[in-house]
Amino acid sequence: MNYQTLQQHAGRLNGWLVALMALALPLSTSALSILAILILVVWLVEGGYRQKLRTIIANPVAVAVLLYLALFGIGLLWTSELASGLDVLKKYWKIMLLPVFLTALRWELRRVYVGFFLAGMTIAMTMTYLAWFGLLHYSDVTTTHLTRGTFHVIYNPLLAFAIYLLLHELVWGKVRAIVRWPLVGLACLMIFNMFITEGRAGQMVFFVLMGLFCLQNFRKNILQGVLILVFCLPAIFAVGYQFSPIFHERVERAYSEIVHCKSKPNTSVGLRLLFWQNSWEIIKKDPWLGVGTGDFQSAYVEINKQQSPRMEATDNPHNQYIFVLCQLGLLGLLGLLGIFGTQIRQAMLQRDGWERVRLAFPLFFLTIMLTESYLIISGTGFLFSLFSAVLYARKVSPGLVAEPSEA
């Protein structure tokens, strides 16, 4: 086998490794890391670096992400904790792989990637149903806590995005009649599952995405879409609140934690509000450039001693926007928003049947980042880099991406 043939096989292999990664997104962080390393190794073997570089530079989303990451490198110049700054950079390795995914995927397999992700979500969802019926026992999973540990923080947002993708395929995709009703059933199971699992960020973004889906579906009659939106979403919320003990309890607990956040700050919502309040003091001191890439934790410790000495300090304010503002100031926030602004612009420019998902994807992240630093968490970090590549790639020969295609 000559080297050129090896390169061709490497390109084909990577196209399917990307599919396996989409499948693993809701299932295993270890598998994601292994697959990411495999994709990188095969990508290096494939060669064609000059063409890959041209493809990356020609892709506005990839450029926006690289500029954002570059800001963290620049932020090392004024940090006093260089080792901590390098640790911060390491946490972003998931989204650093976006250019690799962009030039490793096969454009014609886009629906395959979506299908593999939905298959992975179906497997993960099935496990929660087995736990709900008391048929699956492991770790700290119970009939009321259906995901291991704090995995619901990732699971429910992924589930919300999967529901939107599935509904999008049912309405605008090329779904054969023989599988349409099974997919409708799957969508119903996913929506029901949203209200028996615990992730409030996922439940919040579910309503946001369903609102967007409704407006997109009735784009030719916006008034009708708004009216349906006004009645249907509150109705779904009311049904979930009335008939799902878990959803009811999570809503009640969130309300109670907000009301009593000052007297009882050591709660999920109370701690977040405290983190944000203390972080705001850091932001006020260095609003333009922040404290530097690695200095958030030390800066927070000092503020925490002054503002809330009885509470433990944190290394993460559980809000992507506040986290960036503390480290890089308004410059960093502009870089972050620039990524999603670029994605929204590409949604308007690339009209090939996927523009609705291209709009939903940044809206999804802009919403969930209000409650957690999701770009540095493994599952959602890989979701961002992988689907940014899948959704904003442009058609070209297998393995590379170039010109936009009209449907």
- Structure confidence by residue, pLDDT tens digits, 153-191: 999 999 999 999 999 999 998 888 899 999 999 999 999
Q: How confident is the model at residue 354 (pLDDT cuts 50, 70, 90)?
A: very high
Partners of residue 403 on adjacent β-strands: 395
Q: What is the pTM of this model?
A: 0.94
Which among 386, 390, 361, 376 has a CA at the least distance from the CA of 157? 361
Q: Give CA separation, 388 vs 64, 158, 160, 392, in Å.
A: 11, 15, 17, 6
Contacting residues for 400 by C-beta, under 8 A, at least 6 apart = 48, 51, 52, 55, 103
* Amino acid identity, position 324: V
- Structure confidence by residue, pLDDT tens digits, 45-77: 998 999 999 999 999 999 999 999 999 999 999
Q: Give CA separation, 374 vs 129, 276, 364, in Å.
A: 26, 16, 11
DSSP-derived 3-state class of residue 98 = helix
Contact 254, 200 (CB under 8 A): yes
Q: Over range 196-204, report the average pLDDT.
A: 94
Mean pLDDT of the chain: 92
**Is residue 131 scored above 60 in pLDDT?**
yes
Nearest-angstrom CA–CA distance, 164 and 120: 15
